[in-house]
Amino acid sequence: MIDPEDDRSVRRGETPLPSGAISPGMLTDLDLVFILLLLFLLGLFFFAYLLVRRTLMGLREGYQDGQRR
């Protein structure tokens, strides 16, 4: 078993992190995958919004052109 008193990576006066703990500001592979997935879904949602908006605007413009003729 590792003695926290003997740990050279811990500065004097600081308490060592429990084993398996992640220090603040440290990204794990799981966090990185989650962030990338979230960005992908956000991009997909934005793309779908623009696609639907353009389709509906074109549809409205088509109806207005048809009424003028």
Q: Give me the residue label for tokens 């308490």.
A: 15
Q: What is the pTM of this model?
A: 0.52
Which of these, 20, 12, 16, 14, lies nearest to 4 by C-alpha position?
A: 16
Q: From first to last of the 69 residues of the chain, give the pLDDT tens digit.
A: 556 555 555 566 666 666 666 666 666 778 889 999 999 999 999 999 999 999 999 999 999 989 987
- Domain-wise residue ranges, the chain: 28-69
Q: How far is CA 20 from CA 10, 23, 29, 56, in A?
A: 15, 10, 14, 52
pLDDT score recorded for residue 69: 79
